[in-house]
Structure 1
Amino acid sequence: MLTAIHPKLPMRNQTLTKDFYQKLGFRLCGGEYEGYLMLENDQVQLHFFLFEDLDPRENYGQVYIRTDDIEGLYQSLLTDGIAIHPNGHLHTKPWGQKEFALLDPDHNLLTFGQYLT
């Protein structure tokens, strides 16, 4: 019965969040509303709610996003000047995933991964 999941993450500034995610290839979907933002890239949709008092150092929002071209995605983000998390460079993990991670402007952690076959 379940068909999809759309994580909801906090944001302090709607314009800043939209601009950051557009650099990652996301685009608006379903409209833009005051205090609420919906973005998508391929089959991945992320929602954001306004939380102006958020302290990014205390934000533990995290999303794991699967890809079928981890190397290509990683290189394209580096080429576009997107900062990779200092502890999140592309690496093969013991659990059979190749992963990397980055932080958005509100310190939501985005981890991208691909199954190793």
Structure 2
Amino acid sequence: MLTDINPKLPMRDKTITRNFYKIQLGFEEFGNSDYEGYLMLKKDKIQIHFFEFKTLNPKENYGQVYIRTDTIDKWYQEVLNNNTSIHPNGKLEQKPWGQKEFSILDPDNNLLTFGQSL
């Protein structure tokens, strides 16, 4: 039985990634923060793990995660209140596939899309 999924995304700089997710998105660090080249963050019931990839070219990074929420409007406003940039093609809107969603990019160009079923 599958019970959970924890995506692993590339990061160039652990401090920059940690600060973005903690300050902009309200994530918390968990586990052992001393792992060299590895970072684990959580918020509510989700976890995202990061592995160091110092030579990553953000323009060539296609890392993506779809995160479901049951408070999309509140979460969107919280992200805006933290001055987090919304992806130019990812503003909050209802999609034809029955989701209301928006997207942001992290410092390494990983695409985070947040969605709620209508």
Q: Which interval holds the TM-score relative to the shorter structure?
A: over 0.9
Could you say which structure has the higher strand fraction? 1
Residues paired across the two proteins, number: 116
Alpha-carbon deviation of 1:51? 0.1
Secondary structure, aligned partner of 1:68: coil
Q: Which runs of 5+ in 1 are unaligned?
A: none
Provide the residue aligned with 2:8 in structure 1. Answer: 8
Shift of 1:7: 0.2
State the secondary structure of the residue aligned to 2:32: strand
Superposition pairs of residues 1-117 of structure 1, within 5 angstroms:
1-23=1-23, 24-32=25-33, 33-116=35-118
Q: The residue matched to 1:64 in structure 2 has which SS?
A: strand
1:27-65 residue CA offsets vs partner (Å, 9 max, x unmatched): 011121110000000111000000000000000000000
Sequence identity, in percent?
Answer: 64
TM-score of the superposition, structure 2-length normalised? 0.97
**CA RMSD of superposed structures (Å):** 0.5
* Contiguous gaps of at least 5 residues in structure 2: none
C-alpha distance in structure 1 between counterparts of 2:32 and 2:2, whole Å? 24
